[in-house]
C-alpha cells in the first residue's frame, strides 16, 4: 500500500516557485487500478513521479506499507524491484530491437538468461507485437512503440506499475488496447496507477482521483469489472 500526503513545488530561480502539487492526500491499496485524471498542467505527472519515488515531495511523505523509504539507495531499490514505469514517451533506444529494448533494464544489471529472453518475447507477444520483436523503433508505429514501452515496464514483474499518459496521442482503438493490457496486469493481482487525460481509462479503474490546479480529490470507488456495461469494450479488447 502506498500512502501519500504531499506537496511539491519546483524552484525556477531565486524569485520564482511553481507549485505543481498543492495538496494530494491519497492511498493506493494493493491490487487496485487507480486512475488520476485532470487537465494539462494540473500536476498529474508530478504526483506520479512523487508516488513512484522518482521525485521527493517538498512537504509531506510517501509511505510504502507504512514505512518511509528513507535513503536514495532504498528508493532506488524500490524503483528497481517493486515499481515499474511506463512513460508518456517510451524513449526506446533507437539502435536496439523491440526485444532488446524490453531486456535493457535487466541487461544493465547483469547477463540476461535464456529464460529472461523468452519472458521478453512472451511479453511482446502478449502486447500483440509478435511480428515486431526484431524491429528497430523507427520501424514501428507510435502505438507499437508504446506497447514496447509497456512490455519493458513489465519485464521485471513489478508489484506496482505506474503509467503516465500511456495512451497520449493514440486513436481510441489503440488506447483501448493499452488500457486492456494494463487491466490484465491488474487482474493478475498487481497494482496499477495511471495518470491520463483519456476518458477510456476511467472505465477500468477501481479508484478514480481528479487533479485540478494541483489539488487532488477522490472521485469514486467501484469494482473494476470488464463485464459490466460501462466496461463492455474492455472485455472485447482481450
Ligand atoms: N521540473 C519542473 N520545473 C518547474 N515546473 C515544473 C516542472 N515539472 C512540472 N512543472 C510545472 O508543474 C505543473 C504541473 O505539471 P505536470 O507535468 O505535473 O502536469 P500534468 O497534469 O502531468 O500535465 P499534462 O497533462 O500536460 O501532462 C505545470 O505547471 C508545470 O509547468
Ligand atoms: Mg503529465
Residues 69-126 have pLDDT tens digits of 989 999 999 998 999 999 888 889 999 999 999 999 888 888 999 999 999 999 999 8
Residue 19 within a domain: no
Of 4-18, 56-70, 170-184, the poorest mean pLDDT is in 170-184
Cα–Cα distance measured from residue 100 to residue 120, given in angstroms and rounded to the nearest whole number: 8
Q: Which residue has the cell 513545488?
A: 9
- Asked if residue 182 has pLDDT above 90, the reply is yes
> Per-residue pLDDT for 238 more than 60?
no
Residues facing 191 on adjacent strands: 160
- Counting ligands in written order, the one closest to the CA of 214 is 1
Q: Are residues 191 and 235 in the same domain?
A: yes
Q: Do both 75 and 184 map to the same domain?
A: yes
CB atoms within 10 A of CB 103: 22
What is the per-residue pLDDT across 213-234, written as a single tens digit (0 to 9) for each?
999 999 865 555 555 544 444 4
Tell which of 152, 185, 204 closes a domain: 152
For residues 35-48, give the mean pLDDT: 95
* Whole-number pLDDT of residue 172: 87
Identify which of 6, 22, 39, 45 to mutate to test ligand 1's pocket (most ligand atoms within 8 A of the CB): 45
Q: At what angle do helices 142-154 and 98-107 cross, to 10 degrees?
A: 30
Q: What is the span of the domain harbouring residue 120?
A: 90-152
Q: What percent of the chain clears pLDDT 70, i.e. is strictly above it?
A: 92
Distance CA 58, CA 54 (A): 13
Beta bridge partners of 64: 2, 67
- Exposed, middle or buried, 140 (CB in 10 Å: 0-12/13-18/19+)? middle
Does any ligand 1 atom lie closer than 6 A to the CB of residue 16?
no
Report the pLDDT value the prediction gives residue 108, as an integer from 0 to 100: 85
- Say how far apart CA 235 and CA 180 lie, in whole Å: 8
Query: Is the same domain home to 208 and 136?
Result: no
The answer to whether residue 10 is domain-embedded is no
The answer to the question of residue 121 being in a domain is yes
The Cα–Cα gap between 13 and 205 comes to 39
Does a structural domain hold residue 37?
Answer: yes
User: How many domains is the chain built from?
Assistant: 2
CB 205 within 8 A of CB 35: yes
How much distance in Å is there from the Cα of 45 to the middle of ligand 2? 4
Q: Which residue, 101, 127, 152, sits at the end of a domain?
A: 152
Distance in Å, CA 84 to ligand 1 centroid: 21
Whether residue 128 sits in one domain with residue 75? no
pLDDT at 175 (0 to 100): 86
CA 53: distance to chain centroid?
13
Q: Which ligand is nearest to the CA of 22?
A: 1
**233 domain-assigned:** yes
Q: What is the reported pLDDT for 222?
A: 56
* pLDDT at residue 148, rounded to an integer: 94
Q: Do 219 and 163 belong to one domain? A: yes
Same domain membership, residue 107 and residue 75: no
Residue 191 lies in a domain: yes
**Mean pLDDT, residues 34-46:** 95
Q: Is the distance from CB of 20 to CB of 46 less than 8 angstroms?
A: yes
Asked if residue 77 and residue 179 are part of one domain, the reply reads yes
> What is the structure's pLDDT at 232?
44
Number of Cβ within a 10 Å radius of residue 173: 10
Report residue 236's pLDDT band, with 50, 70 and 90 as the boundaries: very low
Amino acid at each position: 500500500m502506498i500512502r501519500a500526503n504531499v506537496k511539491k513545488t519546483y524552484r525556477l530561480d531565486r524569485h520564482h516557485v511553481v507549485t505543481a502539487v498543492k495538496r494530494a492526500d491519497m492511498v493506493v491499496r494493493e491490487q487496485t487500478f487507480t486512475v488520476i485524471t485532470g487537465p494539462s498542467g494540473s500536476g498529474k505527472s508530478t504526483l506520479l513521479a512523487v508516488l513512484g519515488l522518482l521525485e521527493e515531495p517538498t512537504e509531506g511523505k510517501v509511505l510504502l506499507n507504512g514505512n518511509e523509504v528513507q535513503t536514495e539507495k532504498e528508493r532506488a531499490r524500490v524503483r528497481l524491484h517493486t515499481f515499474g514505469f511506463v512513460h508518456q514517451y517510451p524513449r526506446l533506444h533507437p539502435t536496439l530491437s523491440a526485444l532488446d529494448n524490453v531486456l535493457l533494464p535487466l541487461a544493465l544489471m547483469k547477463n540476461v538468461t535464456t529464460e529472461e529472453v523468452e519472458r521478453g518475447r512472451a511479453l511482446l507477444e502478449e502486447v500483440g507485437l509478435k511480428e515486431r520483436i526484431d524491429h528497430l523503433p523507427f520501424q514501428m508505429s507510435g502505438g507499437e512503440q508504446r506497447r514496447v514501452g509497456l512490455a519493458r515496464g513489465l519485464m521485471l514483474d513489478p508489484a506496482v506499475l505506474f503509467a503516465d499518459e500511456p495512451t497520449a496521442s493514440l486513436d481510441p482503438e489503440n488506447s483501448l488496447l493499452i488500457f486492456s493490457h494494463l487491466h490484465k496486469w491488474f487482474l493478475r493481482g498487481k497494482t496499477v496507477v495511471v495518470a491520463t487525460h483519456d476518458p477510456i481509462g476511467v472505465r477500468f479503474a477501481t479508484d478514480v482521483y481528479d487533479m485540478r490546479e494541483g489539488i487532488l480529490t477522490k472521485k469514486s470507488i467501484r469494482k473494476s469489472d470488464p463485464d459490466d456495461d460501462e466496461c463492455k469494450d474492455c472485455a472485447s479488447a482481450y
